[in-house]
A and B are shown apart, each in its own frame.
Chain A
Amino acid sequence: GAGVSQSPRYKVAKRGQDVALRCDPISGHVSLFWYQQALGQGPEFLTYFQNEAQLDKSGLPSDRFFAERPEGSVSTLKIQRTQQEDSAVYLCASSPTRGRNYGYTFGSGTRLTVV
């Protein structure tokens, strides 16, 4: 597609519920990133994929967070047993190369509210 697509746009989950957030990057983009953005803050790194390989998951806040990109294109961020502190906007970004000196293309994000 023309841009990075994320779905759903909004998600309300009851505390304890599992959620799955989808990211469809720009076709052919090698690198894919997930970021978490709390209200009034800058995005914080969660995890990084190069094709299907998850090369960095140092930002995942707990073992309740899990991400995958099995075929090197679409990625899913799963949060198990959601808690109120998980409420945030989850942003996906992609980049055409594995190189470092390229800007990211971000999706519009999924706003997760845990009630």
Chain B
Amino acid sequence: SQQGEEDPQALSIQEGENATMNCSYKTSINNLQWYRQNSGRGLVHLILIRSNEREKHSGRLRVTLDTSKKSSSLLITASRAADTASYFCATDSLYTGANSKLTFGKGITLSVRP
């Protein structure tokens, strides 16, 4: 079963614009992570935000987390054609016992037009 749901399912923007992707989840979490997947490749870890953090930055990425609303957003600023990929949020639930086990959403397809 997939706990995270991303929104929108697909996003098309012009190079240079900002891209905002949202994720909602159902159960309480230890942390939430965002991954990127280029076509036919494995996933690349982008950023991790812990449940006691509200905002985190990494280069052109900004992630926010609202545990009261069980939601997160990923902002990519000044997008580039190379950012074209699928983006997944993944949650590490508090209820999976002692071991880490990420649950992924269905993903968002981002297209950045040159």
A101 in contact (CB, < 8 A): yes
**A45 and B102 contact, Cβ closer than 8 Å, known pairs A4-B42, A104-B45:** yes
Beta-carbon contact of A107 and B42 below 8 Å: yes
Question: Least Cβ distance of A40 to chain B in Å?
Answer: 8
Q: What class of interface size applies to chain B in its complex with A? A: 20 to 34
Q: Give Cα distance in the complex from A35 to B43, angstroms.
A: 11
Closest to B44 in A: A106
Contacts of A107 in B (CB 8 A): 42
Contacts of A50 in B (CB 8 A): 99
B48 in contact (CB, < 8 A): yes
Contacts of A109 in B (CB 8 A): 41-42
How many residues of chain A get a CB closer than 8 Å to chain B's CBs?
29
Beta-carbon contact of A42 and B104 below 8 Å: yes
B30 in contact (CB, < 8 A): yes
Beta-carbon contact of B92 and A103 below 8 Å: no
B67 in contact (CB, < 8 A): no
Chain B interface residues (CB < 8 Å from chain A): 2, 4, 30-31, 33, 35, 40-45, 48, 50, 88, 90, 92, 96-97, 99-107
Q: Which 7 A-B pairs have the closest CB atoms?
A: A103-B45, A42-B104, A106-B42, A106-B43, A100-B100, A108-B42, A43-B104
